[in-house]
Structure 1
Amino acid sequence: MQKVPTVYDVAELAGVSIATVSRVLRKPHEVADATRDRVNAAVLDLGYVPSGSARSLAARRSGAIGLCLPDFDGIDEVSGLAPVEFSDGRVSTVLDLPEDVELGDHLYISEVMLGTEIEAWQHGMAVTIAVARGSRGSEIFDNLAGRVDGIVTLARTIPDKQLAHIARRVPVVVLAGPRSDDEYDHITTDNAEGMRVMTSHVLEEHGVTDLAFVGGPADSPDDDARFRGFCQALRAAGLPAPATPVARGDFTRAQGRSIGRRLLAEGRVPRALVCSNDQTALGVLDALTSAGRRVPEDVIVTGFDGIDASEVSRPRLTTVYQPMRDLGRAAVDTLLHRLRDSQIPPQTRTLPVKVLLRGSCGCLPPESV
């Protein structure tokens, strides 16, 4: 095996001290051009890569942020593994996905991830992602906490006891959930108000009183806040508020289709379906249009998130836009502040949302939809 080049090899080849090599790699603007060029040439010639672990020991920081996410792609251990044979005769395994798994379903999480990565990159940090999948989720999170400077996680992803344990080691920022009895920093959006405004629009501007809420997972803080906003709008209009959503899904388009088909089969489709997120709404829209129901003439459909797919559906989806990418950026920004000053009080930041009126509620003429 070829010998791995070290900083000593670079220094010897460039004819400089180890301290000079370190300065070129960490603060190149402080080194004369000729010296910097000589060191960089030696680095390229040898194929030298600085040791991240050595830097971490020196700085007592890893330079990485952990991002803990739920099992957003629908893959878990029960999916099993299927054998696959390559052209050279090797046999390996791949995940055997259920037929209804759609890997692009959770575009909300993709945007949060992108925002996290952008903000971390701007501060010279890396992002390490862990997913709560299967029985090894707790083990994975514990290992992650030992390798990063802080953790960003979506609410309810990590069990409360384990999160409290991790928070004793590294700072934690929780996304998409209200502050409970904890000492973590929280970043969220105004879910309840956004859904209240959306529901009030359907009630007041379209004169609809027969409407139902299609929810997400019962343990989702975002879904709970949105359902609360839905009920607030109903009560303000003098209408009774339901105790529970008409149906619950898992925030995926596939589940939205399933819910739409079930409501159609049971004859329980109201004049308006207010959905807890865009993917669910798009799935409901798929089911309705496949069954010959016109949107918005027969049924109004609304969503929440403002993902790109909501702009290209037919009709375009009326929705509540939340700044998903900004959630990730704000989480990293808050975490970096915490790393600089661990004594500041726990922070809660609520980002604003915006109602986007489009064709699925009837606010735009057909030619604009």
Structure 2
Amino acid sequence: MPNGELNPTVYDVAARSGVSIATVSRVLRRPDEVRPETAAKVMDAVRELGYVPSASARGLAGRRTQVIGLLLPGHQEGDPVPDPGPATPPRIRDDRASAEQAAEESGTGGPVNLYYDEVIRGAEGEASEQGFALLIAAGTASHRERLVGEIAGRVDGLVVLAATLGDELLARTSTRVPVVLVADSGDEHDLDHVVVDNEQGMRALVTEVLRDAAVRDIAYIAGPEDSPDERDRRRGFDRAIDDARDDRTEFGDAADSPAVRILRGDFSVASGRRLADRLLAEAGSETESDAGSGVRLPDAIVCSNDQSALGVLQSLTAAGVDVPGRVRVSGFDGVEAGRFSTPRLSTVRQPMADLGRIAVRTLLRRLASPDAPRQRVVLPVEVLLRESAPPHV
């Protein structure tokens, strides 16, 4: 290296790329303000040298901002907003859309926002107590890189929810500012993590559902395959099924009891409703006396998150299916909407506000001690047995 130091500095990056230190700083903090060819040259030098900006190097553009960024998965891109026209009378329309239509129109499936709301509240509270402001961002996928470039230049560190950034963008971002990952159980990133015990939570919930020997056929509505939460929850589901089969075999049941059906959803209310509609269609003319066409409704439907479970409840209720008398339904997350559904939703409650609170606390520790060992904080969960899948007595 030009200056002979063991660790590359911003001066080395400037020398390697043939630009000024100020330009290097702009590329690292606000790449959208620099010509693409210049930014590419600087980033090539950063990668070749293995340069990681320190807190003092980031201070080239000023002191600490006392601002923390919180990045959430982006919303879907909708229709353009029309320019306002002259004042017109209020429009009246029949808005009695089906729950599925309403979920699809909301883009995110509705209650998913409640999850983020609670994380945000926890993060805001902790940041405020520590004298920091919280900058919240959730851009569309097509604008995410530009958004991250803008945000990273304005904050001292970032709290990033799982699935918000791709691996490459996350790696690049973490060279600019400290990053704490929330709800991402993967170990591929050498970053601080704050997660919940998804696997044990799902295992405990399914074990409770299967305490009733009458549950001999269970459906699992999974989330997206690339979701870290889904991977852990599916593992917990599978282990609970294995446990139940071992126990039931001892009492003379078939080795494959309970039977299992797996359906792939996307964590939305709409997908839960759609998949429940499929189960209803397959069951055909089944009635509560089970006089049907051969394919029965499952005795229990376990969903990988609450949004899907709420969609399932909507579908079954609309079809006149008795929940939990005929089908037990459960979710995972503990969003507030589940407390007010009919029947109230059994679930695994994540300490969502604590996720935000402890993520901010972890980030502030990282700012104070940049070279400290990476932390992985695992928060416990709680199984809440409500009316949709009550305790077996």
In structure 2, the residue matched to 1:34 is none
Residue 63 of structure 1 is matched in structure 2 by 66
Q: 1:152 touches 1:174 (CA, 8 Å); kept in 2?
A: yes
The number of equivalent residue pairs is 297
Q: 2:141 aligns with which of 134, 152, 155?
A: 134
Unaligned 5+ runs, structure 2: 1-58, 89-100, 246-254, 284-295
What is the DSSP-based 3-state SS (H/G/I as helix, E as strand, rest coil) of the residue aligned with 2:326? coil
Counterpart-to-counterpart distance in 2, 1:171 and 1:161: 15
Q: For residues 382 and 256 of structure 2, what CA distance do their matches in structure 1 show?
A: 26
Give the structure 1 partner of residue 152 of structure 2.
145
Q: Give distance in 1, aligned partners of 2:225 and 2:257.
A: 17
Cα distance per residue 1:170-192 (max 9 Å; x no partner): 11100111141321000000100
Q: Residue 364 and residue 232 in structure 1: after superposition, are their counterparts in 2 closer, same or farther (change >3 A)?
A: closer
Change (3 A) 1:316 1:364: farther
TM-score (norm 1): 0.75
Deviation at 1:212, TM superposition (A): 1.5
Partner of 2:249: none
2:275 pairs with 1:246: no
CA-to-partner distance for each residue in 1:74-133, whole Å, 9 max, x for gaps?
A: x31xx32142534369xxxxxxxx862236431111111111111111112111122241
1:237 match: secondary structure? helix
Specify the SS of the correspondent of 1:313: coil
TM-align CA RMSD: 2.4
**Residue type matched to 1:363 in 2?**
P
CA shift at 1:134, angstroms? 3.2
2:277 matches 1:256? no
Task: Map residues 338-357 of structure 1 onto 2, 5 A cutoff.
Answer: 338-357=366-385
Paired position in structure 1 for 2:42: none
Whole-angstrom CA distance in 1 between matches of 2:87 and 2:382: 54
For the structure 1 residues 346 and 196, does the alpha-carbon distance in structure 2 shift closer, same or farther, using more than 3 Å as the test? same
Residue 36 of structure 2 is matched in structure 1 by none
Distance 1:313 1:304 in 2: 14
- Partners of 1:192 and 1:233 lie apart in 2 by 10
Distance 1:341 1:240 in 2: 52
Q: Write out aligned runs for 1:38-187 (5 A).
A: 60-71=63-74, 73=75, 75-76=76-77, 79-87=78-86, 100-102=104-106, 104-106=110-112, 107-187=114-194
Q: More displaced, 132-141 or 346-355? A: 132-141
Cα distance in 1 for residues equivalent to 2:197 and 2:124: 23
Q: Per the alignment, do residues 356 and 208 of structure 1 end up closer, same or farther by CA in structure 2, a change over 3 Å counting?
A: same
Q: CA deviation at 1:308?
A: 1.3
Alpha-carbon separation, structure 1, partners of 2:65 and 2:213: 55
Cross-structure match for 2:203: 196
Q: Distance in 2 between matches of 1:231 and 1:223?
A: 12
Q: Distance in 1 between matches of 2:177 and 2:61?
A: 18
Amino acid at match of 1:195: M
**Contact residue 297 and residue 362 of structure 1 kept, 8 A:** no
Verify the 8 A CA contact 1:301 1:361 in the aligned structure 2: yes
Name 1:334's counterpart in structure 2. 362
Aligned partners of 1:179 and 1:348 also within 8 Å: no
Q: Is the 8 A contact 1:175 1:187 kept in 2?
A: yes
Distance 2:257 2:166 in 1: 31
Change (3 A) 1:309 1:316: same
Contact 1:120 1:332 in 2 (8 A): yes
Cα distance in 2, alignment partners of residues 101 and 362 from structure 1? 32
2:230 pairs with 1:226: no
Q: Distance in 2 between matches of 1:58 and 1:154?
A: 27
Amino acid at match of 1:292: G
Amino acid at match of 1:105: P
| CA deviation string 1:117-168 (max 9, x = no partner) | 1111111211112224131111111221111111111122111111111111
Counterpart contact for 1:235–1:241, Cα < 8 Å: no
- Aligned equivalent of 1:270, options 281, 284, 298: 298
Measured against aligned partners, the alpha-carbon deviations of 1:336-358 in whole angstroms (never above 9, x if no partner) come to: 00000011100000000011111
Query: What residue ranges of structure 1 are gaps of 5+ in the alignment?
Result: 1-55, 90-97
Which residue pairs with 2:252 in the alignment?
none
